[in-house]
Structure 1
Amino acid sequence: MFIPLIKQTIEKSLVEKPEGIVIAKLISEIRKACPSIDRQSIKEAIRTLLDDGSLMYVNRLGQTMISTNVNRPVKISERIWIAPPNTSLHDISSGSVLIKISPGIAFGNGIHPTTKMCLKAMDFIFMSGAKIKSMLDIGTGTGILAIAASLLGAEKCIGTDIDACARSEARANIISNSISKQKIDIIDTEIGLLALQPDLVTANLRYPTLISMSDLIASAVNKEGYAILSGMRPEEKEFVCKKYCKKFELLQEYSESGWNALLLKTNTM
């Protein structure tokens, strides 16, 4: 009966420690968050989550740790799943969108809360019937958001990143998803120099960058477009909203494990 609560606590702990957490420390953190649950019940719940594949053992520097299992499909939204490259469509429900991502050093495996919220917001836009022909992803990392937009129906996506390693990983992930170079372009060009005014701009960045780039992001979106902003903490959300309110109206807010994201639409009034 405690498994959902324990699982939620474990996932929150692993957000800040994606490389894994020592079992004893994990139990201690769960006990701190859920003092009414005894140690034995926690151990049994962890064992159940290991058996069903939600968690996995990893070895880091000679220590056995617990981590999120990235070797299986993970459902993110109504239609979107993330999985390692060797996953087949038969492993998920029909009508779903499967994004194949190799865990890398650029931005993990795509299941960080800030990324998941972007994907949920994107799925919401496409399911609402909005016409998203072009998309720009700022700080693309693994390329997951550009890949998702392409698989959901966008005709042209551009991912920008100043990190050469991230760009390399993104291009490899695009190939894993059988998407042509004509549909997704990964570049290091500054967004202010791009002629494209896309229907959707995504920016999964930290708060200072979201603030400093607000004018560039606002001017990049076309007059009937959308923006998805993620990477802010709850106490930062209000300041981000104020910074973008002149150009956009707020459609949706998302929160998960101490992170927030916003779905915005260009204000045409």
Structure 2
Amino acid sequence: MSEIRLKWSEICIHTTNEAIEPISNILHEIGASGVVIENPLDLIIDKQDVYGEIFELNPKDYPDEGVYIKAYLPLNSSIIETVEEIKLAVNNLTAYGIELGKNEVTWSEVDEEDWATAWKKYYKPIQVSEKITVTPTWENYQPTSEDEIVIELDPGMAFGTGTHPTTMLSIQALEKYVNMGDSVIDVGCGSGVLSIASARLGAKEVYAFDLDEVAVQSTKTNAEYNKVDDLIHLKQNNLLQDVHLQADIIVSNILAEIIIRFIDDAWVNLVDGGYFITSGIIQSKKEMVLNKMQEHGFKIIEINEIEDWVSIVAKKK
């Protein structure tokens, strides 16, 4: 009896750097089992500029401008309708002021073996801060020092693999500001990587919120895999709506347009002297977020950047 091989649809969206996170979220909500980002900036990053390692990347796989976002869905009779649904959801992002660039959506067939290779070749162990290395669960990675913190992730469930600049900036800030015994809130937890990092850095409790049920389940799975699920309190929730806590740190790696919607709630849920760490902010939206934070009374402590992405650390005075 011959082996049955599954067919997959590779959806490719040619768009902008700014649109990576919202489009990735759209693809996950529609059922994609994984998202691959092909960004030509990855080909030219100075090795001294970021932590981690440079892999053998083929320039032919990358666009001349913008980025390719690729997702994989099982091939079935409704694929045409699914592609149209994706196009509509992506086009709706313009209502949030997000530039979509070429905004071309295409799809093609791939078999299961090609899908697995295409998916996994993009995720390798990467050092994202001085102490923390993020590795996919299928890699047999061994720490190089006693101080190294290794976070193992299944990146196929929700956005946030540790390799994206916004995630790296968030983890670097957490490493700097999380103290032993701190209480942390993670708004928009995604894959759970920031919640897990907070717990591994010494937080006594982490409250993780996401509106997406897939993200909540992904955080649960990854927290269990990293043996910190007893420290992470998970809830499906819309930002900080109806949340009443007193945290030492609030971290959120999310769109700038979303961050400004819950700055007031962040203030209320922070202790005096607490830190508000935000990322996912494209360079052109930096001033908008800074102004809103300062209007609410936050003191800006530092601003960090990788490529076109910005992270802001603010303090409740």
Q: After superposition, what is the alpha-carbon deviation per residue over 1:208-237, rounded to whole angstroms, capped at 9, x for unaligned? A: 111121211222111121110111111211
Post-superposition offset of 1:104: 2.1
Structure with the larger strand share: 2
Considering fraction of residues, name the structure with more helix.
Answer: 1
Is residue 155 of structure 2 the alignment partner of residue 138 of structure 1?
A: no
Q: Which amino acid aligns with 2:236?
A: D
Q: Which has the higher contact order (CA 8 A, sep 6+)?
A: 2
- The two structures have a TM-score, normalised by structure 1, of 0.73
Give the counterpart letter for 2:312 in structure 1.
L
Contact kept? 2:160, 2:192, Cα under 8 Å: no
1:247 lines up with 2:297 in the alignment: yes
Partner of 2:152: 100
Count, aligned residues: 228
Q: More deviation in 68-77 or 141-150?
A: 68-77
The percent of aligned pairs where both chains have the same amino acid is 23
Q: Distance in 2 between matches of 1:204 and 1:116?
A: 10
Distance 1:67 1:189, change over 3 A: closer
Cα contact 2:166–2:279 (8 A) shared by 1: yes
- Rounded to whole Å, the distance in 2 between the matches of 1:97 and 1:157 is 17
Q: 1:176-196: CA deviations, max 9, x gaps?
A: 101133x10110145232232
Give 5+ residue unaligned stretches, structure 1.
Answer: 1-11, 35-51
Per the alignment, residue 148 of structure 1 pairs with 197
Residue correspondence of structure 1 range 109-124 to structure 2 within 5 A: 109-124=161-176
Distance 1:61-1:109 versus aligned 2 partners, 3 A rule: farther
Residue aligning to 2:307: 257
Could you tell me how far 1:131 is from its partner in structure 2? 5.3
CA distance in 2, matches of 1:149, 1:67: 27
Letter in 2 for 1:264: A
1:264 counterpart SS class: strand
Aligned to 2:131: 79
Return the offset for 1:258: 1.0
SS at match of 2:150: strand
**1:132–1:200 CA contact under 8 A, matched in 2:** no
For residues 110 and 61 of structure 1, the distance between their equivalents in structure 2, rounded to whole angstroms, comes to: 28
Cα drift, residue 257 of structure 1: 2.1
Q: CA RMSD in A?
A: 3.4
C-alpha distance in 2 between matches for 1:92 and 1:85: 17
The residue that corresponds to 2:251 in the other structure is: 202
Equivalent residue, structure 1, for 2:55: 54
